[in-house]
Structure 1
Amino acid sequence: MPEARSSLANMWREIQGSNDWKDLVNPLNALLREEVVRYGEFVTACYKAFDLDPSSKRYLNCKFGKKSMLTEVGMEGCGYEITKYIYATPDINIPTQSGTSRSRWIGFVAVSTDNEVRRLGRRDVLVSFRGTVTNTEWIANFMSSLMPARLDPHDPRLDVKVESGFLSLYTSDDSTCKFSQGSCREQLLSEVTRIIKKYKDEEVSITMAGHSMGSSLAILFGYDLAELGLNRLGWSREIPVTVYSFGGPRVGNSGFKERCEELKVKVLRVVNVNDPVTKLPGVFLNESSRIIGGKYEMPWSCLCYVHVGVELALDFFRVQNPACVHDLEAYIGLLRCPKIARVQKDGKVLLSKARKVLHTQKFDGWIWQDAARQVGCLVQSLGF
């Protein structure tokens, strides 16, 4: 798609959500589709590089070194260089999977190369997160109580509340981790701040991409960066902060959503309407239960979970195939085929064609997909 590539440098701000993707989502703009797929592939790389072999010395860490990782997973020449690996610690006091450290490799920070800068129209700082794999991460996902984020010590904003499990994963520390120091939050803030300072004289964007639980961490980090003002250079320059969320759950309440919007944190939610994870948490207390009659806000509205951002909705498969409804490869595989992976409209998409496409695609049968089957059991128990 040479025409789309040649125009990216000219309209990258719109593609990154400067106008909330107005007129780009429905119908899905070809250039935006290409960028969504591109960022999704970086998240896919996290899954491919995650070591799930219990006999390996790198078990539950990345299989490869930073310099070779993208090449090893088939992304050589992608135009980015990894600068740091990121680890997260579920603060769960139960017996964990084998190994002494509770920290798990969760993703990476990367920066676009000089050649890629010319194509993109700016220096892109990318943070990519995988989704849920380990037992403790699954438990963290279901710690669905809301609590104040309190990420800015000078302005705690008690009305801004997020899911306690995601917040714990983002802020907890593990002193026994031999690969990195500090919480997921501390690692990210330190590295991204360093990169911003390094390229302060260039046009820069900050992009987060994540699947499932990883999309929650991406949104939390985007909010954190903007709340602390770390994306602002002086009084006049503000670095755009964009999140590409794939199959992401709700993260916080309406106060969190409103604050993200005030801070101009742009979130594009790529959602399979049959994916149960996108309906959690807040199965009963969510956007639809906050307002009655279109204008009356209920007393419990502060306890309701609310999605952040603009939704790009797809419709493929049903709960009878739970391993696929939440599968990132299925998301990306359909988006690569614009005539079939269309934006969901009026609840109708040609499912038979979607199934046909997936039969012709070769998707990797990673172990993490077993977790998706657990999602299917959850859905059936909730009656979706």
Structure 2
Amino acid sequence: MANGAAAVATKLRPLARDVTPALERKTTTTAVAAMWRRLQGSDNWEGILDGETLRGEVARYGELVDACYRAFDLDPTSRRHLNCKYGKERMLAECGLAGAGYVITRYIYAAASSAAAGRWIGYVAVSDDATSRRIGRRDVLVSFRGTVTTEEWMANLKSSLVPARLGGAGVNAVNGDSVKVESGFLDVYTSADETSSRFGGAGSCREQLLREVGRLLASFSGEGDDVSVTLAGHSMGAALAMLLGYDMAGLGLNVLAGGEKIPVTVVSFGGPRVGNAAFKARCDELGVKALRVTNARDPITRLPGVFLNESTTAGAGVLRPWRDACYTHVGVELQLDSSFKVGELAAVHDLSTYISLLRADDKKSKQHAAVKREERGGGGVMGKVMEMVGRRRVGALPWHDAAMLQMGGLVQTLGII
């Protein structure tokens, strides 16, 4: 085992003896371990989307993503402002997930542009020995939060399609510039923090992730155990997870020496569209599996591409010629539905709402979601959108005008959506 693997193993094995019971679930150890490949999308979740086992595991990942919000320091007077409040060893415990069964190996930072300072965006973790036995494999997890800072909101409004140019020279030689993704998400993924984060975020979000995930896969691939990669994120974080899945599969980071592929699965909570039809086709070709968890009333899942998308350009209709220039969802949808009163519309995109709907059989779920939203200041992500859109200006750009561009969605090819 390489030195890197030995270091990680040293952290994992003592924890395996001491961990408290994992997050409360109704599924059994045998059920998850026996069907883990199906749960990761080996057959595109055929016949199990409504199953309790899948929803329990998806909710578990949702809680691991939710920790990114709970640990993000928004106090402008804090030394850790816009970084994680806690060190890696205690972050999950501080967020109420002491028994989650994962060991964080690295924090990840992202800059919304090359001129911006890096902000803490999430973490990379590995399942400990006890959890690995329960779920049937060693799981390498990357967890991303959604949009919070003003710079990230600005990046999200850059909704023109641009060539992805990810996944290595071989991928680009085959696809040229036909594979396109949303420019704002690509900017957050690839921009390097020129000032470098004082908490260790050297290089772009992409560079940090490829180094760490590559290191972990190289470490564990020699153990003889099954290994999976799960990329989980909410909102903008879901888009970053999709870009990472495409990128690492294109680079072959998940391919073992004997040619066997380690499964790469994206679990997207309230995720927007990320790329065009060529991007989707290439993800499918590379074997990247994506489970899109959506709230039927969440408008973010219909952006970008409100009018021109995979549905409106299908078949032989008049919009068919626009197909290759339009945004297209990737993966299989797990749609959740709920009824919201007018005053609750700000909650439709909030991650706590998603977790609550996944655990809909829990009588306390609605109360749980309300408490989580209150902890974040009311309306969660959608509340922040509404607040920001109502402001007059951020820098030189009126938020109202920018929001109208984002919601227009009629002329994508002109860079509006």
TM-score grouping bracket, smaller chain normalisation: 0.7 to 0.9
The residue aligned with 1:196 is 217
Answering whether residue 131 of structure 2 is matched by residue 107 of structure 1, we say no
Quote how far apart the aligned CAs of 1:122 are.
0.5
CA deviation digits over 1:32-63, x for unaligned, max 9?
01100000001000000000000000000000
Counterparts of residues 243-322 of structure 1 (less than 5 Å): 243-293=266-316, 298-316=320-338, 317=340, 320-322=343-345
Moved more, 5-14 or 369-378: 369-378
Q: 1:2 to 1:283 in 2, by over 3 A?
A: closer
Structure 1: gaps (5+ residues): 94-100, 341-355
SS of equivalent residue, structure 2 residue 203:
coil
Q: Which has the higher helix share?
A: 2
Q: 1:119 to 1:67 in 2, by over 3 A?
A: same
AA aligned opposite 1:309: G
- Select which of 247, 251, 256 maps to 1:233: 256
Q: 1:237 to 1:319 in 2, by over 3 A?
A: farther
AA aligned opposite 1:280: L
RMSD: 2.4
TM-score, length-scaled by structure 2: 0.81
Q: 1:322 to 1:171 in 2, by over 3 A?
A: same
- Select which of 334, 358, 361 maps to 2:357: 334
Q: 1:135 to 1:31 in 2, by over 3 A?
A: same
Quote how far apart the aligned CAs of 1:360 are.
6.8
The residue aligned with 1:373 is 383
Answering whether residue 168 of structure 2 is matched by residue 160 of structure 1, we say no
The residue aligned with 1:349 is none
Moved more, 45-54 or 373-382: 373-382
AA aligned opposite 2:92: L
AA aligned opposite 1:104: R
Quote how far apart the aligned CAs of 1:372 are.
1.2
Quote how far apart the aligned CAs of 1:287 are.
1.2
The residue aligned with 1:169 is 188
TM-score, length-scaled by structure 1: 0.88
1:108 and 1:318 map into 2 onto residues whose CA distance is 35
CA deviation digits over 1:127-149, x for unaligned, max 9?
00000000010111110000111
Quote how far apart the aligned CAs of 1:267 are.
0.5
1:368 and 1:214 map into 2 onto residues whose CA distance is 21
SS of equivalent residue, structure 1 residue 218:
helix
Quote how far apart the aligned CAs of 1:67 are.
0.4
1:383 and 1:154 map into 2 onto residues whose CA distance is 36
SS of equivalent residue, structure 2 residue 88:
coil
AA aligned opposite 2:170: H
The residue aligned with 1:346 is none
Paired residues of 1:219 and 1:243 also in contact (CA < 8 A): yes
1:328 and 1:196 map into 2 onto residues whose CA distance is 29
CA deviation digits over 1:178-226, x for unaligned, max 9?
2221100000000001001111122100001100000000010011010
The residue aligned with 1:73 is 95
CA deviation digits over 1:321-350, x for unaligned, max 9?
33201010011012112489xxxxxxxxxx
Q: 1:338 to 1:260 in 2, by over 3 A?
A: farther
Quote how far apart the aligned CAs of 1:370 are.
5.1
Number of aligned residues: 359
Moved more, 310-319 or 188-197: 310-319
The residue aligned with 1:120 is 135
2:287 and 2:54 map into 1 onto residues whose CA distance is 19
Q: 1:48 to 1:137 in 2, by over 3 A?
A: same
Answering whether residue 81 of structure 2 is matched by residue 59 of structure 1, we say yes
2:129 and 2:248 map into 1 onto residues whose CA distance is 25
Paired residues of 2:140 and 2:230 also in contact (CA < 8 A): yes
Paired residues of 2:109 and 2:122 also in contact (CA < 8 A): yes
1:16 and 1:6 map into 2 onto residues whose CA distance is 16
Counterparts of residues 130-141 of structure 1 (less than 5 Å): 130-141=145-156
Q: 1:221 to 1:304 in 2, by over 3 A?
A: same
Moved more, 170-179 or 125-134: 170-179
1:266 and 1:332 map into 2 onto residues whose CA distance is 21
1:122 and 1:107 map into 2 onto residues whose CA distance is 22
Q: 1:359 to 1:204 in 2, by over 3 A?
A: closer
1:223 and 1:137 map into 2 onto residues whose CA distance is 21
Quote how far apart the aligned CAs of 1:357 are.
5.4
Answering whether residue 28 of structure 2 is matched by residue 18 of structure 1, we say no
The residue aligned with 2:412 is none
Structure 2: gaps (5+ residues): 1-24, 390-399, 410-417
The residue aligned with 2:3 is none
Q: 1:58 to 1:232 in 2, by over 3 A?
A: same
Paired residues of 2:158 and 2:182 also in contact (CA < 8 A): yes
2:365 and 2:127 map into 1 onto residues whose CA distance is 32
Q: 1:319 to 1:264 in 2, by over 3 A?
A: farther
CA deviation digits over 1:113-136, x for unaligned, max 9?
111111111100000000000001
- Identity, % of aligned pairs? 54
Paired residues of 1:129 and 1:210 also in contact (CA < 8 A): yes
AA aligned opposite 1:15: L
CA deviation digits over 1:342-369, x for unaligned, max 9?
xxxxxxxxxxxxxx95257552220484
